[in-house]
Amino acid sequence: MGSRASSLLREEDIEEIKKQTGFSHSQITRLYSRFHSLDKGENGALSREDFQRIPELAINPLGDRIINAFFPEGEDQVNFRGFMRTLAHFRPVEDNEKNKDPTSGEPLNSRTNKLFFAFRLYDLDRDDKISRDELLQVLRMMVGVNISDEQLGSIADRTIQEADTNGDMCISFSEFTKVLEKVDVEQKMSIRFLH
Amino acid sequence: MESYLFPFDSLICMLLGISFTVWFTLLLVFIIVPAIFGVSFGIRRLYMKSLIKLFEWATLRMDNGETLKRIIAKEPVSLEQEIQDMRRGGAEPEFDMSDIFYFCRRGVESIVDDEVTKRFTAEELESWNLLTRSNYNFHHISTRLTALWGVGVLIRYGFLLPLRVTLAFTGVGLLVVLTSIVGLFPNGRMKNYLSDKVHLMCYRICVRALTAIITYHDSENKPKNGGICVANHTSPIDVIILASDGCYAMVGQVHGGLMGVIQRAMVKACPHIWFERSEVKDRHLVAKRLSDHVADKSKLPILIFPEGTCINNTSVMMFKKGSFEIGCTVYPVAIKYDPRFGDAFWNSSKFGMVNYLLHMMSSWAIVCSVWYLPPMSRMEGEDAVQFANRVKAAIARKGGLADLLWDGGLKRGKVKEVFKEEQQKLYSKVLVGSSEDGSSS
């Protein structure tokens, strides 16, 4: 039955996802309901069309890039685990987590991981560098037809000039992090999940 | 052997005969006759009150799973505000690499919870109303409650459903037959009077066929001839609910099959507006026919649902401006269903018409409130779209529904590119606007 969404998710799965992402039990079940309601084909995975059906996402200038971020390299379907992993980047950073055991690896919603998520939105070919072209592409997506090529080009040049410290005319992840060190990334890249 | 069975045979026949007679007499006395005269014994209201007590008891006894709250809290900050806040130091002109954070976060927020997609599926209830179809989060049900649910199934499918189907057939049958008879009369006051009475009677029987318990508010604002009545749309039943309290001219596409038969019969008794499929595309033709109708004061007010599609009764979506361009008085009506007794929303992508009617007739009841709002006209300097939005806001306010600007057509179609372009324009303004003080062109 279509509406019995939460009964399709097993307790073991919930526990695993809880460990991996840090979401609470009730958050996971509610997000599963949401996942299920987006999954029109009812095959346990979301395709790009399922995301594009959300009007607010379709009108977002960076909509396609954000959708891409959910799909692993070269795949067309994302299952619930993958969905939660990506969403976990947007969990707010809680104070008690800062003292977490460092051997368990960095949590998905750490500052570095949030920055890396944003870096990936620029870095389309995944070569760990943002080239001038890649920057221009993102700029063009955000402004549409309202700004000329020359103006956009000079904006891109200026941005690279400011950020590039090793002179390779590209922005690496560490340069990206340096440029944004004063920005409150934890707050800007977090969504207020309710308990 | 045969003589052994004979006395039982005739006994059974007699019993069946008696029970059928009793059944039909009760039906006639308690349902059909009051429907004809528009009076009510109050049986349905009593039924509704007892159901409410039952649900409250059931909710207390249930181990409620996670109650339905919002998943995330969104902050309604505008694009400009957010980006200015983010800019380091505030004096930086032009582009900043952190600008994408805004779009990124808004995008992921809309993936987790958006305003539109949830309007096209049935509303989720906070407490269970003993119908299987609305049981999502409540898995832990005690045996007592399951027993109650079982009894409920028996009552609904064994008693209520056959009763309602009988009534429905009676109602529709009478409608077709009587309107055809009235159609034989010459045009004039007698015909109109009879047509009104016949329509009202048949719709009232249909109302009882659904066990619809309707409360009408502010009846002094009821639509009058020469006007257009607009209402929010949740299901095809909206028509029956409104038409059992007043006489309207219906608007719609010509259908084949049973619907077509009903349409053809109805139009014999009084002028309804049925469009051929091909005519629907021609907006001028549609507008002309509607204006001609309202210009004739002897004709009934037109009933239109400007959303164009069924929405799940938690919100009112964009009104199509066609009916607001005609320039006559608009009588807004707000319809709000109480989802505890039965969800009236028709999810046409999931269920067909027959399935839907089956759901309707096997629910406990359809309970709704109808508010007749004071008439509105287009004001000076207001265009059709603004007028439509004004009417929509009034309906949403009265019915306690969310007022959305999104198009109901998004149920099936894609959102228009123009909205994305608006977002891009806004962002460009932030970029370019701040560089006007800068040195670049």
* Whole-number pLDDT of residue B362: 86
The model's pTM: 0.77
Asked if residue A183 lies in contact with residue B88, where contact means CB atoms within 8 angstroms, the answer is: yes
pLDDT at B370 over 90: yes
Residue B188 placed within a domain: yes
pLDDT digits (tens, 9 = 90+) for B313-356: 888 998 988 888 888 899 999 999 988 887 888 887 778 888 88
Select from B70, B100, B425 the Cβ nearest to the Cβ of A146.
B425
The CATH number linked to B267 is 3.40.1130
Shortest Cα distance, chain A CAs vs residue B140, angstroms: 11
ipTM: 0.90
φ, ψ dihedrals at B252, nearest 5°: 180, 175
Tokens 């969403």 label which residue? A87
Q: Look at domain A108-189 and name its CATH class.
A: mainly alpha
The total of other beta-carbon atoms located within 10 Å of residue B386's CB is 14
d(CA B168, CA B98): 62
Q: Is residue B148 part of a domain?
A: yes
> If DSSP codes are grouped into helix, strand and coil, which group holds residue B78?
coil
Res B241: pLDDT: 92
Residue with the bigger pLDDT between B426 and A104: it is B426
Q: In sequence order, what E strands does B243-293 have?
A: 249-253, 273-275
- Given this model, what pLDDT does residue B97 score? 80
Answer whether A88 touches B (CB < 8 Å): no
pLDDT of residue B440: 39
Q: Which of A60, A179, A194 sits opposite B106 (nearest CB)?
A: A60
Domain that holds residue B291: 144-406
Burial A22-37 (b: 16+ CB within 10 A, else e): bbeeebbbbbbbbbbe
Number of structural domains (chain B) is: 1
How do the domains of chain A map onto residue ranges? 11-89, 108-189
Q: DSSP alpha helices (H): ranges in B90-138?
A: 100-112
Query: Which residues of A are less than 8 Å from B100 in CB distance?
Result: 62, 118, 121-122, 138, 142
For A47-63, what is the mean pLDDT?
91
Task: Please indicate if any CB of chain B lies within 8 Å of the CB of A33.
Answer: yes
DSSP output for B128-159: --S-GGG-SS-----HHHHHHHHHHHIIIIII
Residue A8 has pLDDT above 80, yes or no: no
Contacts of A180 in chain B (CB under 8 A): 97-98
For the domain covering A11-89, report its CATH number: 1.10.238.10
CA distance A63 to chain B (A): 6
The tens digit of pLDDT for each residue in B373-390 reads: 999 998 888 888 999 999
User: CA A111 from chain center: how many Å?
Assistant: 13
Predicted local confidence at residue B46, as pLDDT = 85
Nearest CA to B313 out of B223, B416, B241 is that of: B241
| Domain A108-189 in the same topology as domain A11-89 | yes
pLDDT at A97 over 80: no
* pLDDT band per the 50, 70, 90 thresholds, residue B127: low
Tokens of B204: 């009232």
Task: From chain B, pick out residues whose CB is under 8 angstroms from the CB of A30.
Answer: 66, 71
Task: Give the residue among A36, A66, A193, A54 at the shortest CA–CA distance from B119.
Answer: A54
Summarize the confidence of residues A165-190 as an average pLDDT.
Answer: 88
Instruction: Evaluate whether residue B77 is within a structural domain.
Output: no
Does residue A7 belong to the interface with chain B, where contact is any CB pair within 8 Å?
Answer: yes
Would an 8 Å CB–CB cutoff place A27 in contact with chain B? yes
The answer to whether the Cβ–Cβ distance between B72 and A193 falls below 8 Å is yes
Please tell me the distance from the alpha carbon of residue A189 to that of residue B332, in angstroms, as a whole number: 43
Mean of the per-residue pLDDT values of chain B: 82
User: Nearest by CB to B108, which of A5, A87, A158?
Assistant: A87
| Tens digit of each residue's pLDDT (9 = 90 or more) over B262-308 | 888 888 888 888 888 888 778 888 888 888 888 888 888 999 999 88
